[in-house]
């Protein structure tokens, strides 16, 4: 058994986190996840951390950061931090350089349109990058390095090096299988680290022991487990929770205009009472918990 993934919960040593992106206002789905993460830490005498994932410089805004802080205080959640991703760019670059030196990443010059044109799959089906640029010769790569490109993980090589991997989710052993996700992007010209790379490094740097997050990120954990192995990082315990959904069973999302916590705050609603109601499973009208 992997000792790094089999640690028991020790009082006072638990560290959880909530890591929103300041690209819009928080909604009840965010509140639900933040409350679960906060309460897990409190229950185990640990620490609840706040990380602001502001690596998207074009969409992140200071007023959204202020709104996040106000929303968490309104809900009655106490936290340590925040830590900002934008202050950790050097660590992402160093990790990418390390993977590059290991021969595990390669530059990809394909546009989204070119990738879409090369793939054939049923409408709406998830598909992996076909590895077009992985097959370029060193001379071809060198000749094109002046073009816009991203850096992709060579999944086959990475898996061969790492070997079998697993993590624990709610105490249940899960065998890691990132292969179906293909050669995932680890960095782009406009983003010095992808979500996969940044969140893996940040959780390790902050000493996070338990990650409480939505089940929509379960598949991403396969990739994160692989990156932890490649970079020699510890593996936290995971606790993927059901999502709050709105009418029609759709998960709440900023892009779909989910009602914001700020609007409820301004309207005079009691945030602590709302948090307690969510803890009791008393959901606002029209909302439900998706089945696992």
Q: Which of 4, 189, 254, 291 is catalytic?
A: 254
Alpha carbon distance 150, 184 (integer Å): 10
Residue 150, helix vs strand vs coil: strand
Q: Give yes or no: 254 in active site.
A: yes
Q: Which two tokens stand for residue 179?
A: 């292969």
Output DSSP code: residue 164. S
Classify each residue of 235-244 as buried b or exposed e, where b means 16 or more C-beta atoms within 10 Å of its C-beta: bbbbbbbbbb
Phi first, then psi: give them for residue 247, nearest 5 degrees: -55, 140
Question: Which residues are registered as beta bridge partners of 187?
Answer: 151
Alpha carbon distance 55, 85 (integer Å): 6
Alpha carbon distance 195, 201 (integer Å): 10
Question: Which residues are registered as beta bridge partners of 108?
Answer: 150
Using alpha carbons, select from 213, 221, 126, 145 the residue that is nearest to residue 177. Answer: 221
The DSSP secondary structure of 12-65, one letter per residue, reads TT-EEEE---SSS--BHHHHHHHHHHHHHHHHTT-EEEEEE----TTT--HHHH
Alpha carbon distance 206, 37 (integer Å): 15
Phi first, then psi: give them for residue 80, nearest 5 degrees: -100, 135
* Residues with a known catalytic role: 254
């Amino acid at each position: 058994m992997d000792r790094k993934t089999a640690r028991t919960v020790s009082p006072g040593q638990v560290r959880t986190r909530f890591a929103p992106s300041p690209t819009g206002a928080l909604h009840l789905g965010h509140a639900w996840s933040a409350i679960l993460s906060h309460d897990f830490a409190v229950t185990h005498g640990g620490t609840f951390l706040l990380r602001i994932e502001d690596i998207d410089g074009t969409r992140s805004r200071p007023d959204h950061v202020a709104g996040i802080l106000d929303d968490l205080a309104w809900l009655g959640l106490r936290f340590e931090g925040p830590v900002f991703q934008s202050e950790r760019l050097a660590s992402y670059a160093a990790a990418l350089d390390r993977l590059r030196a290991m021969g595990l990443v390669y530059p990809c010059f394909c546009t989204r349109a070119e990738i879409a044109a090369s793939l054939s799959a049923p409408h709406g089906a998830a598909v992996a990058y076909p590895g077009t640029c992985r097959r370029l010769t060193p001379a071809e790569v060198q000749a094109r390095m002046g073009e816009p490109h991203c850096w992709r993980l060579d999944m086959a090589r990475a898996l061969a090096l790492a070997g079998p991997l697993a993590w624990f989710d709610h105490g249940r052993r899960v065998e890691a299988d990132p292969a179906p996700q293909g050669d995932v992007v680890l960095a782009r010209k406009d983003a010095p680290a992808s979500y996969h790379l940044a969140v893996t490094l940040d959780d390790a740097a902050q000493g996070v022991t338990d990650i409480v997050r939505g089940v929509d990120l379960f598949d991403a954990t396969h990739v994160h487990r692989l990156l932890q192995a490649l970079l020699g990082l510890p593996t936290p315990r995971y606790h993927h929770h059901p999502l709050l959904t709105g009418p029609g069973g759709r998960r709440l999302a900023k892009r779909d205009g989910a009602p914001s916590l700020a609007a409820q705050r301004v309207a005079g609603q009691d945030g602590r009472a709302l948090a307690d109601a969510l803890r009791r499973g008393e959901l606002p009208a029209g909302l439900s918990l998706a089945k696992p």
